Amino acid sequence: MIGGWIAAAELAALKPWPTPAPAITRDERMARIAKAQDLMTSDALIVGAGASLRYFAGVGWNATERMVAMLLPKSGQPVMICPRFEEGSLVASLGIDAPLKLWEEHENPAAKVAGTLAAWGATSLAIDPALAFAMFDALRLAAPDVAMPNAAPVIDGCRAIKSPAELALMSQAKAMTLEVHRRAARILAPGITTGEVRRFIDQAHRALGADDGSSFCAVQFGEASAYPHGLPGEQALAPDQLVLIDTGCRVQGYNSDITRTYVFGQPSQEHRRVWEVEKRAQAAAFAAVKPGVPCEEIDAVARRVLASEGFSADYDLPGLPHRTGHGIGLSIHEAPYLVRGDKTPLQPGMCFSNEPMIVIEGQFGIRLEDHFHVTEDGAAWFTPPQPAIDRLA
């Protein structure tokens, strides 16, 4: 149902998720490290704080100006680089067995890395593409004779294929967000603001046990929906207005990201027409998924549906102004991508959004976004797609 319910009552009905997915084990993290070593062509690899450090080492810290990193040799045990005053926190967070190389505030951590590389006899160091340039530059200066290629083939080669444990965590996150979407639709009323809806969605995610409430939330009414990431400022909902809500959460770091588009009141004939085209494009993209198919072909399939209905086959409006989908996992957007030029073959365990948005410039936009994972013979939805413009389930 859309509208007619009280926000406080909806929140009161939400409890922590009854069947939480198990955490990633130490053994699985060590297997990830072994896979990275198999993929490495350099003597060593460095992974900075952020999603990839959480993936390999279990340390869910955001990057700052201080170097916190895992240094991994081609063979042997990884080493953690960390400020000395953070030692206790790091040990408590660490999900693998690894000795620590600690540095004091006045010291250059890049020198610690260079010294370790010299002790290993390493002449090449693959660099995490998410590592801050300042840290890369410090490493380059501290170890001028060490080659420093991009580590993306190794890191993406590991992270792109999700394990059953990762799929379970992502399934939970997405199921939680879908429940929040249902509840958010129920509290809509004339005059409710986008800010009020965002705050409800954050509280609902928290009530279900998400890591930090909403990881992001975009609420767009009417013409604002024609801008893929919305417009600044508050909007108030009016009857028969289009509603686009894109939101997600994290469960043990793994992301959800689901968009629903519907009308508060009576959809116009044009709303219904465009919504149905969007639905067909999303379904066609899903049906085209098979192992071995290039990522870019899924984008092309969605665009062919749009073109058959008179929309642009390219990025022009009216039509789809962005890619059809993105990889998802510990990062909300991660490689590979469902976009022209990405020829990565689909493989079982890869996970993607499917969101071939249609924008009618100056009027409205419709985006249906669900996620799937590639299986041995096709694809499987994490969450059931929206069935109709006036129903969320």
Domain that holds residue 177: 164-381
Asked if residue 207 and residue 325 are part of one domain, the reply reads yes
**pLDDT in the model for residue 266:** 97
Asked if residue 363 and residue 238 are part of one domain, the reply reads yes
Strands 370-374 and 241-248, bridge-based pairing: unpaired
**pLDDT in the model for residue 245:** 98
**pLDDT in the model for residue 1:** 83
- The token pair at 109 is 């951590």
**pLDDT in the model for residue 85:** 98
Residue 173 belongs to some domain of the structure: yes
**pLDDT in the model for residue 196:** 98
Can you tell me which residue has the tokens 């680089």? 81
Last residue of a domain, one of 127, 143, 159: 159
Asked if residue 326 and residue 179 are part of one domain, the reply reads yes
* Total of domains in the chain: 2
**pLDDT in the model for residue 374:** 98
pTM of the model: 0.96
Asked if residue 195 and residue 127 are part of one domain, the reply reads no
Residue 142 belongs to some domain of the structure: yes
Could you tell me the mean pLDDT of each successive run of 10 residues in the chain, 393 residues long?
Answer: 94 97 98 98 98 98 97 98 98 97 98 98 98 98 98 98 98 98 98 98 98 98 96 96 98 98 97 98 98 98 98 98 98 98 98 98 97 98 97 89
Asked if residue 176 and residue 44 are part of one domain, the reply reads no
**pLDDT in the model for residue 393:** 81
Cβ neighbours for 368, distance < 8 A, ≥ 6 positions apart: 259, 260, 261, 278, 279, 282, 355, 385, 386
- The token pair at 257 is 């990201």
Contact in structure between 174 and 371 (CB atoms under 8 Å): yes
CATH number at residue 260: 3.90.230.10
Residue 5 belongs to some domain of the structure: no
Vertex 111: Cα angle to 109 and 113 (nearest 5): 75
Last residue of a domain, one of 111, 128, 159: 159
